[in-house]
Structure 1
Amino acid sequence: MKGAGHFYAGMVTSCRPGEGRQDRTVAIDDPVSLSKANADWLEPATLFGLFSADRQFLLAISMPSPGAVDDTDVEGVWRLVELLDDWDIMGAGCAVGVTGSRYGCPAFVMPALDGSVFGQGTVWQDSIGTAVLPHPRRVRSLQDVARLNVGKPYRTTAEDEDALAWLATQEES
């Protein structure tokens, strides 16, 4: 997983469609919005290769920060997860706080294990959205962010090493 660039997976919605971003949205007031939003997540995730052969991928999970004083002091950590046969990313996953903040309100970041595709779910003003970014190593804006952040005092040595490895393994266009 080193050099997979997972650190940049949360930037999918800041990328433009011309950079490869694929968006799907469903109106919140649609009576079957969650089933449509689940399908809108699964189709591009499958098409662009989010899942490993074992249907595994990474998911950013909010965990209490060391020494946290309340439940708002959290940090994102990567967890290996597997898509089961019976899944509900937009409903039940959100309701328990794993893929969102409450039922029907996704807020997730999901990179493929090898970093070849990033996925993000969010709620817009009037819709539920999924954005997928295949080939994130090709995206100039993400490369620029990676370069600009290397060596910053708020970055760990491991994060810098990951960014440099990610930049060194740019996919051929």
Structure 2
Amino acid sequence: MERLNEGWYDLAVSAGLLDENREFLLMLPRGTWTAAVDRRLRHRMHIWHRVRLLDCWDIMGAGAATFLGIRAGYPGFAMLALDNSVWLLADTYESGVGVYAVRDPAVSPGVLRELEWLAREDIYKDRDFRREVTIWLECRQLR
């Protein structure tokens, strides 16, 4: 857990996730289910919460054991810098854990491809989500 926490923190700081007050946005599922249940309910609406990293944090251990993952050491969460300049994702895979940071996600080719695919494929069967993604992509092209 200590190595996972250190790796997450080093990436969060070097990518610029945290502001001067160590605040950022944390994506949580609407409701009180765990990340394991959330994986089965991907079509559910998620909401962002503004949070502050305290001195006694344990995101990959106690956090992942509750609503930030499946269990301790098995994370499943997304975070965003307050100014939207950095998106950070931690997830659990068959062969381990991955933590990724994307700077300027609104202009990232990989993020844009994924959004375009989601708008076309409608894998979540969520018309509102698909409409919002389509509108966002169209507005972005008008700039």
Q: Normalised by the shorter chain, which TM-score bucket?
A: 0.7 to 0.9
Q: How does 1:140-155 map to 2 (within 5 A)?
A: 140-146=109-115, 149=119, 154-155=127-128
State the match for 1:88 in structure 2: 58
Change (3 A) 1:51 1:168: farther
Aligned equivalent of 1:78, options 48, 51, 55: 48
State the match for 2:90 in structure 1: 121
SS at match of 1:90: helix
CA distance in 2, matches of 1:44, 1:80: 19
Query: Are 1:37 and 1:129, in contact at CA under 8 Å, matched by a contact in 2?
Result: no
Aligned equivalent of 1:44, options 11, 14, 17: 11
SS at match of 1:52: coil
Q: Structure 1 length as normaliser, TM-score?
A: 0.61
Corresponding letter in the other structure for 2:100: A
Compare relative contact order (CA 8 Å, sep 6+) and give the higher one, 1 or 2: 1
State the match for 2:70 in structure 1: 101
Q: Structure 2 length as normaliser, TM-score?
A: 0.72
> How much does 1:141 deviate?
3.0
CA distance in 2, matches of 1:92, 1:139: 32
CA distance in 2, matches of 1:112, 1:61: 15
> How much does 1:154 deviate?
1.5
> How much does 1:147 deviate?
5.4
Query: Are 2:88 and 2:99, in contact at CA under 8 Å, matched by a contact in 1?
Result: yes
Change (3 A) 1:123 1:143: closer
Give the CA RMSD over aligned residues.
3.0
Aligned equivalent of 1:60, options 27, 30, 40: 27
Q: Which runs of 5+ in 1 are unaligned?
A: 1-33
Q: Which runs of 5+ in 2 are unaligned?
A: none
| Greater share of helix | 2
Query: Are 1:137 and 1:167, in contact at CA under 8 Å, matched by a contact in 2?
Result: no
CA distance in 2, matches of 1:41, 1:141: 21
Matched-pair identity in %: 28
